[in-house]
Amino acid sequence: MKALLWKDCRVNLFVLVFGIVMLLSPFLTGLTRDLYAELRYGTASWWEADGWVIISLVSLGLSMLTVAMLAGNAMAAERTDRSAEFLAYLPPSRRAVITSKIILALGACLLIWTINLAVIYGLVPLMPGLPEDAYAASDGHPTNAVPGLASTAVVLFGIAWFCSSFLASPAISTGIGIFSPLAVAGGLQAVEYFFHPPSLDFGWWYCVICVGLGILGFVAGTVHYLRRVEP
Amino acid sequence: MTTDSSSRLAIETVGLTKRFGDTLAVDDLTLRIPMGSVFGFIGPNGAGKSTTIKMLMGLLGKTAGQARVLGFDVAGRCEAVKDRVGYVPELHFVYRWMRVREVIYFCRSFYKTWNNDLCAELLGLFELDEHKKVKHLSKGMVAKLALLLAIAHEPELLILDEPTSGLDPIIREEFLDGVLRTICDRQKTVLFSSHTLSDVQRLADAVGIIHQGRLLANCPTEELLTGTKRIRAVLPDGCSPDKPPEGTIWQRFRRREWLLTVRGFSPATIEYLQTTYLVENIEVTDLGLEDVFKDYVRGRRASA
């Protein structure tokens, strides 16, 4: 398993580096901005809590591409250069191979989310100057975007993973993954337009459909990869 | 479960069939390769050699039939097979970004039987630079690396699928030396598919000829070569050869000259020709494996 994980890290090296850049660049931009303001004007807002929440949300938004790329690359990348054929005649079982891929892809995505959620719900509330009811349900607060972003990430990952289980192109798998939340949103818009349901909670249905499709895609992709004979 | 009879067979296929849409790639192939033998698997391009080998390695699903490798059904116990088999494919898809030592580290971690001394010995023999990346190796060096990876875990069975195609004669010779060392030092079973029939003749103690997915011949190399003869007979004017002798695999008649290749040749074959056709002149010549193979394929094409 150690060797498989090492191999998967190396295969996804570019995506992992890209992911780190996407994860950290909003924070670095915020810090640079504040550092510049401090040095130039002495007016940096270092402890402005809402600013950090927005930076974390931007980081999560930018990391969507990383999530889709990790899932899209998982199985298809090795089919592109046919190194999957080399791996296929080595002894590790399909179960071991996919476990390693799941640990890497899901682990990296969870890490991205854990860091950002830790900032939003762990670090920011400790900062002075945050209103007590900052996280109460109110339409205006930026944290309200978290469920939508999370369900978008789930559908991106699940659909890209599913496509990666049978396609030979990581770009196409990733592309379909990126397109999937747009398709869900478009589908809901179409339902609203054509059928005029009396009370369609767009946001709630979007989250439910995205999470459902994402989980279904992940399970179906994993089962398909385990069952298929060809690499 | 491993039965007594199948445990003595390295490879056993019964009615193995593979269909790609309307194309029948392997047709009802029944093959038995005993342990300790070196089996040469030959056939023209698209005959079904690689497809058969891929099915044996569990890399391709079968349409029908059964395949057992080292007593294990490849459909169910693929990992057990891969653990005990060294495989060198025609095209090498070793991770190109890895260095040679990284490939070795990667593969070594999957085999309990990996022999570090043998690996080091083969690295020296093949003059492989451990620090080079696979993408910087020549085609021949990648082939030698693939052979090293296939041999270093001391497999019970070595499967080579056209491993020397596209290699220059020197690399090919070094590669075959590596294979020969394995066979001689460790008494391994080898399944060897190749278009270079001189290599097959040199290594194999049994040969299978496959054409359009069907096995045309499967017998010891020696028996095939000593028992198959080319006969050149000159027939009297107006005589046409309508009944070739038993075992004829290919024939050609031009003017009065009748060329035949006969499997299972014996003095009775000559006697039959002389008594049936009043042959004026008859010559019998030995054939190499290449000629035998060509005649099998040409004969099959002519009868199709």
Task: Please report, for the domain that includes residue B261, its CATH number.
Answer: 3.30.70
Please tell me whether residues B165 and B49 are part of one structural domain.
yes
Q: What is the dihedral of CA A98, A102, A105, A107, to 10 degrees?
A: -150
Last residue of a domain, one of B162, B187, B212: B212
Mean pLDDT, chain A, rounded, equals: 88
- The helix or strand, by DSSP H or E, that contains position B209, with its residue range, turns out to be strand B206-211
B218 domain residue, yes or no: no
Q: How confident is the model at residue B87 (pLDDT cuts 50, 70, 90)?
A: very high
For residue B70, give the CATH number of its domain.
3.40.50.300
B90-112 burial, b at 16+ Cβ within 10 Å, e below that, comes to bbbbbbeebbbebbbebbbbbbe
Residues B199 and B235 both lie in one domain: no
Domain end call among B212, B231, B246: B212
At A162 the pLDDT is: 96
CB contact under 8 A, A6 and B106: yes
B27 and B139 both lie in a single domain: yes
* Shared-domain flag, residues B123 and B265: no
Helix residue ranges, H only, B167-283: 169-186, 197-203, 221-227, 267-277
My answer on whether B55 and B122 are in the same domain is yes
Q: What strand order describes the sheet that includes B228-234?
A: B248-254, B257-263, B228-234, B281-286
User: Rg for chain B (alpha carbons), in Å?
Assistant: 22
pLDDT band at B79 (very low <50, low <70, confident <90, very high): confident
pLDDT given at position A137: 54
pLDDT of residue A36: 83
Please list every residue in chain B whose beta carbon sits closer than 8 Å to the beta carbon of residue A2: 109
One-letter amino acid at A206 equals: Y
B12 and B147 belong to one structural domain? yes
Higher pLDDT, A159 or B252: A159
Which residue stretches of chain A have pLDDT < 70?
A: 43-49, 128-141
Residues B21, B116: one domain?
A: yes
Q: Are residues B263 and B177 in the same domain?
A: no
Question: What pLDDT sits at residue B126?
Answer: 84
Q: A106-125: string of b/e by CB count within 10 Å (b at 16+)?
A: bebbeebbebbbebbeeebe
pLDDT given for residue B271 in this prediction: 85
Whether residues B248 and B127 share a domain: the answer is no
Whether B197 maps to a domain, the answer reads yes
Taking the mean position of all CA atoms in its chain, how far away is CA B74?
Answer: 19
Tell me what pLDDT residue A131 has.
60
- The confidence score (pLDDT) of residue A132 equals 59
Question: pTM to 2 decimals?
Answer: 0.84
pLDDT at A218: 96
Residues in chain B within 8 Å Cβ distance of A81: 93, 96
Choose the mutation target among B95, B108, B148 for the interface with A, i.e. most A CBs under 10 Å. B95
Clarify whether residues B166 and B290 are in a common domain. Answer: no
Record: contact B89-A81, CB cut-off 8 A: no
Domains identified in chain B, total number: 2
Helix/strand/coil percent split, chain A, to 5:
80, 0, 20
Reply yes or no on whether the pLDDT at B94 is more than 80: yes
User: Could you tell me if B225 lies within 8 Å of chain A, comparing CB atoms?
Assistant: no
A202-227 vs A170-195: helix axis angle to the nearest 10?
140
Domain region containing B176 = 4-212
The reply to whether B152 and B22 lie within a common domain is yes
Shared domain check, B230 and B205 = no
Distance, CA of A23 to CA of B237 (rounded, Å): 91
Asked whether B256 and B234 are in contact (CB, 8 A), the reply is yes
Tell me how far apart the alpha carbons of residues A12 and B265 are, in angstroms, rounded to a whole number.
Answer: 62
Is residue A60 within 8 Å of A113, Cβ to Cβ? Answer: yes
pLDDT tens digit sequence for B203-243: 888 999 998 888 888 889 888 888 888 988 888 877 777 78
Phi, psi angle pair for A196, to nearest 5°: 45, 60
pLDDT at A146: 87
- Give domain status of residue B217, yes or no: no
Determine the pLDDT at residue A68.
Answer: 95
Q: Are A71 and A156 in contact (CB under 8 A)?
A: yes
The answer to whether residue B20 is domain-embedded is yes
Cβ neighbours of A10 in B, within 8 Å: 95, 97-98
Instruction: Classify burial at A94, counting beta carbons within 10 Å of its beta carbon; exposed 0-12, middle 13-18, buried 19 or more.
Output: middle
